[in-house]
Structure 1
């Protein structure tokens, strides 16, 4: 399995247990969970914030946005504006799928007896 590199400390991420994928303006980056906490503390503005994609919050966001997108596309609620809202609501779903396909699926689920650096 190919390991991914953390974008904060540039050390390899060994498994999904220590992985946090985050997004910011159409970018997806892998971090260690400890490094992601440092990134959040270093961020000074709302525009520069990184939003976690995987984890419980990312899963709930993806499910809610998928439901909203499907509802807006399958009904005629709000007409054309509803279709635009549905398209925008589909963005977090695409981020989560891209994160899983390009980053998370390349890592093992859990590595036992790993040495922390």
Structure 2
């Protein structure tokens, strides 16, 4: 398994339980859960903010954008503009798959040295 390093503190992320993957435009980075919270507090402009790709918000966004993309691409709603909206809705879906394949799948669900509560 490859090492996943936190973008904020530069330490290794041990398991998926502590992992937050976030995107900022066309970049996907890994964070510890606590480091991501600190990163959000340090952010001054919403343009420079990191948006979570995994977790509750990322999964809801994935489901909504998947439904929108399928609806716009496979129906004649709004014609050419609908097709364009459908293609743009594929962006968060693409990010979620990249995060899942290249970052999340390389980590165990729980690290062996972490105690379960």
What TM-score do you get using the length of structure 2 for normalisation?
0.95
Task: Look up the match of 1:64.
Answer: 64
Deviations 1:3-55 (A, max 9, x none): 20001111000000000000011100000000001100110001001000000
Structure 2 SS opposite 1:90:
helix
Deviations 1:94-115 (A, max 9, x none): 0000000110001011113339
Structure having the higher helix fraction is: 2
State how far apart, in whole Å, the 1-side matches of 2:30 and 2:65 are. 22
Paired residues, number: 115
Runs of 4+ in 1 over 2 A off after TM superposition: 112-115
* 1:38 lines up with 2:52 in the alignment: no
Deviation of 1:65 after TM superposition, in Å, equals 0.3
Task: Look up the match of 1:76.
Answer: 76
User: Over aligned residue pairs, what C-alpha RMSD do you find?
Assistant: 1.1
Deviation of 1:76 after TM superposition, in Å, equals 0.3
Q: Which residues of structure 2 form unaligned runs of 5+?
A: none
